[in-house]
Amino acid sequence: MIENNLVLVGQVVKTPKLSTSPAGIHHCQFSIEHRSIQNEAGLNRQAFVRMQVVATGEWSQHLTRDLTAGSNIKVSGFINRHESRNGNPLLVLHAQQIEMIN
């Protein structure tokens, strides 16, 4: 298996949206915003990213109850390319684990 793992800590930007595919698979979609200062080549650098997150399966239904805009979370999963409605490529984090951070 080839590695594709991403762990991102940040804040939920919008209240998650729950949907169900025609095959009956549940999806929860939301965006997470990460801001930090990272050290690169001995210098501090501001890091900022806003990334779409998708959680798929039965467990994703419970996320809408617990996640709200402003929630601090840690998301672990893999990244995959999606296309926006206008055909632009997007990197999306497919969540395999989500932890609430107080």
- Residue 59: what pLDDT? 85
Q: What is the model's pLDDT at position 5? A: 97
In the chain, the domains with their CATH numbers are: 6-101 (2.40.50.140)
- Give 29-78 pLDDT, tens digit per residue: 999 999 999 999 999 999 999 999 999 988 888 877 788 999 999 999 99
Contact (Cβ atoms closer than 8 angstroms) between residue 10 and residue 52: no
CA-CA distance, 7 to 2, in Å (whole number)? 16
- The pTM for the full model equals 0.89
